[in-house]
Chains A and B, each alone.
Chain A
């Protein structure tokens, strides 16, 4: 059974009397452990698709099934619970909370989930160590470089051992070397059994994926 399944997803935005159709009936199935790369030009709808698949946004019509459950029926809190327990996110820019240290940013999702904050802290330190930031634990995002911030974001995304890691152009604001480092970390997560859905328009990084889904004008290109 697929871990994530989208059925005829449509998404449109209304601006005054103008309706813009961003996704025009997307259907796809993603198996557990797969590394999917979603590519396409700007405005092709790849980020919108990622947001809908990750329950951050709702489709105008169509269904998203996660582990066999129809997520359309989920409440906001159930969406949040699902994201907390099963999903990890890496955004284009780091999306770290500025008033939390690197360690606290990584700890935060697990603090919501678990009672024992000591073990949460220990696990966050281990993850930050894995991404090479054991010396930056108590630094605030403003004290980190772009690459370091994104590595903290990766650590935060995988700290809860998610079923699916969603990454929305995570290397867009990084130089080539730092971008490779981030992709390597994502690949390593995939090797550890985490399903990865990576949105990117960099051809170089799509090569690491098991499957490439290319979008054009809101549709999957055959």
Chain B
């Protein structure tokens, strides 16, 4: 009861002090707190966004929600059709695409053949797909930067990573002067065939950039590989939760095992890399955020300290008329928390209604992903709490330094 009464008095004093303070000073402090909040959220949000963006890209445009791949020490998924039929029976699976992958050589013959000229030929990864199904699962056509999605068996899509025209291409493993409607020769062992480049694909990850896509029937024709063998089966579910994915994965495990394959969730298929990257970026974000919060705390400390020094005489008066030090200190802490709360609220509004929508529409163009602002309500809550605790410390220390002085010394300014 006594605590509540003291708190009420502290609240009353802090409210009156804020009300009585200079408007511009109040606005400046709130502005500092707002900027600090945004700094805390923005840096870590962007760093998280890079990882999340790359991870989401791989899920949406490569692995799907679940992906079946050969088990260790096996080159291919066996009994693909039996597996496909089993998967077809699962109503949870909305769509799937079967990929067959092998190494080939691609060559674009130069117009003038001369003996001492290096042939325009590279090693590449050929991926046989049903173009229609692949597009429904991975939206492959989204990455066309030139040309059209194939509509005939003799057409291919080529990743920009194989083309010297694109900056991401490596010089020694790229083809010169290849564009759409050009004919390229694909060689697998002793078999070769000419194909027309229907389109060029460019993404921010190798699973598209460093692949050549061909119709799966042409793949068999060229490689002679049994259609019972495949390398990847990517599938999507209807808005799955993590629990649903794991549940279906568990059900599919015995089925895939009999096809020398394993089924992984999109997260498992990305391995440790993104988790490690995310942890590193979180650490980096925490360090940068820590510096930001330290600067803001010092600023708030200075502002509260100057305010307390300027009001030292009034603190002396309050002590003289019998107001306990604790009540005065809490009133300064409440002031400090008020600034932090208003700053956080303003920062949150800017973040939620301006920055997140803006970066969603205009992602930052990072080399390996589109950087969005990845912030969660939990993350925001933690940052508000961090700012609140900093504000409490920044308010308490200067108030304590002033309040601990003898009442009459404060009153007389000694």
Contact = CB atoms under 8 A, between A and B. Distances in A.
A56 B321 contact: no
A111 B327 CA distance: 12
A80 B406 contact: no
A40 to B, nearest CB: 18
Contact of A81 (B12, B20, B322, B408): B322
Interface of B: 1, 5-6, 8-9, 12, 16-17, 19-21, 314, 317-327, 406-408, 411
A206 to B, nearest CB: 24
Contacts of B325: 76-77, 80
Given A57-B407, A98-B20, A111-B9, 5 more contacts: A84-B321, A95-B317, A104-B16, A111-B8, A112-B9
Interface string A74-85: 001100111111
A128 B110 CA distance: 104
A183 interface: no
Interface string A190-222: 000000000000000000000000000000000
Contacts of A98: 20, 314
A56 B324 contact: no
Interface in A66-98: 76-77, 80-85, 87, 89, 91, 95-98
Contacts of B407: 56-57
A111 B407 CA distance: 20
B327 to A, nearest CB: 7
B12 A95 contact: no
Interface residues of A, number: 30
A222 to B, nearest CB: 28
A49 to B, nearest CB: 12
A108 interface: yes
Give 7 closest A-B pairs by Cβ, nearest first. A84-B322, A99-B20, A83-B322, A56-B408, A57-B408, A99-B16, A95-B317
A18 to B, nearest CB: 16
Contact of A100 (B1, B16, B326, B408): B16
Contacts of B1: 115
15 contacts: A51-B408, A57-B407, A57-B408, A77-B324, A80-B323, A83-B321, A84-B321, A91-B317, A96-B317, A98-B314, A100-B16, A108-B323, A112-B5, A112-B322, A112-B324
A211 B16 CA distance: 41
A113 to B, nearest CB: 8
Nearest to A88: B321
Contacts of B12: 111
Nearest to B322: A84
Given A56-B411, A97-B314, A112-B324, A80 B319 contact: yes
A111 to B, nearest CB: 5
A56 B319 CA distance: 9
Nearest to B327: A112
A156 B6 CA distance: 19
Contacts of A156: 321
Interface in A128-171: 156
B321 A108 contact: yes
A123 to B, nearest CB: 16
A115 B317 CA distance: 22
Contact of A109 (B6, B8, B321, B406): B321
Nearest to A160: B322
A89 B317 CA distance: 10
A76 B317 CA distance: 15
A81 B324 contact: yes
B322 A109 contact: yes
A95 to B, nearest CB: 5
Contacts of A76: 325
Given A56-B408, A112-B9, A99 B17 contact: yes
A83 B380 CA distance: 46
Contact of A57 (B21, B318, B406): B406
Contacts of B411: 56, 91, 95
A80 B324 contact: yes
Nearest to A162: B322
B323 A84 contact: yes
B320 A99 contact: no
Contact of B19 (A83, A97, A99, A109): A99
Given A76-B325, A98-B20, A111-B9, A83 B320 contact: yes
B187 to A, nearest CB: 86
Interface in A35-57: 51, 56-57
A112 B326 CA distance: 12
Contacts of A77: 324-326
A97 B318 contact: yes
Nearest to B16: A99
A82 B322 CA distance: 7
